[in-house]
Chain A
Amino acid sequence: MNLRRDVFQAISDPTRRAILLLVASQSMTAGAIASNFDSARPTVSKHLQILTECELLTQEQTGREIYYHLNPGKIKEIADFIEPFRKLWDLRFNQLEAVMQKYKTKK
């Protein structure tokens, strides 16, 4: 099954959110990340793969080890995602307020 990867799909899973929190404090290898979870190693690998595919994590080869880093730019993208939707409603409601203020004084 080849699902289209997007960040929102990636963060909808609680284990993946836990991985992001873990890696946020320091870069870690897959083994070190997996040791924090009860899940089987391949399961954790799958989560890491998804997080990497959607660019929430980046990989860095150091000697024989691959370290996972958090990609702060992508995290910011998620935080900013709701903002335009909020602004849309804010504009609408500002308009409502203005229209009704005018209506009130007309009466």
Chain B
Amino acid sequence: MEPKTKINAEDGRQELMITRDFDLSLELLFKAHVEPELVAQWMGTNVLKLDTRKHGSYQFATADPKGNKHRFNGVIHQFIPNEKITRTFEMEGTPFEAQLEFLEFQKLSEDTSRLNMHIVYRSTSQRDQMLKMGMRQGMNMAHNRLEEAAGKLK
């Protein structure tokens, strides 16, 4: 089976592309990025602020399994409902500089849609470091999900 989420990260480039098809209408997919409660649910984060409009901004806070708190924030540069969000993303208190994200929402059919996420980093090495960090985060997250699922089985 072809993986649902695809990543295209070419060697020596400071950008990457994430593509995912959803069994959701375009409107639902877009709403998942706009409603603070919904964002909190699927991102597994506390949404401190989410002002989805041009020149709006957002701030999220999460705690990792060790109880360390992390904050993320960004500014929204372009906001076209059911079509496009251009925003920055920054992890507070890390050496990573802000990254630029272009989210494009596409209708495939009445109840399927596609998200293209183009992320541009400050440099090639920052992109690669971010990929490596994703590796560790991914492990933690998969682990948490497993524990959650196991907890429900009890």
Binding site for B on A (CB under 8 A): 8-9, 11-13, 17, 81-82, 84-101, 103-104
Q: A82-B9, A99-B41, A103-B38 are known contacts. Are A88 and B137 too (CB-CB below 8 A)?
A: yes
In the bound complex, CA of A77 to CA of B120 (Å): 24
In the bound complex, CA of A96 to CA of B28 (Å): 10
Q: Is the CB of A96 within 8 A of B32?
A: yes
A-B contact count (CB 8 A): 87
Is the contact region of chain B dominated by helix, strand, or loop, or is it mixed? Answer: helix
- Residues 122-143 of chain B: 1 if any A CB is under 8 Å from the residue's CB, otherwise 0? 0011001001101111110110
Which residues from A are CB-within-8-Å of B28?
100, 103-104
B interface, size bucket: 35 or more
Which residues from A are CB-within-8-Å of B139?
84
Beyond the given pairs A103-B28, A104-B24, 10 more chain A to chain B contacts, judged by CB atoms under 8 angstroms and listed by A's residue number, are A9-B125, A85-B7, A86-B6, A93-B4, A93-B115, A97-B24, A99-B38, A99-B42, A100-B29, A101-B23
Which residues from A are CB-within-8-Å of B124?
12
In the bound complex, CA of A9 to CA of B124 (Å): 9
Q: Is the CB of B11 within 8 A of A93?
A: no
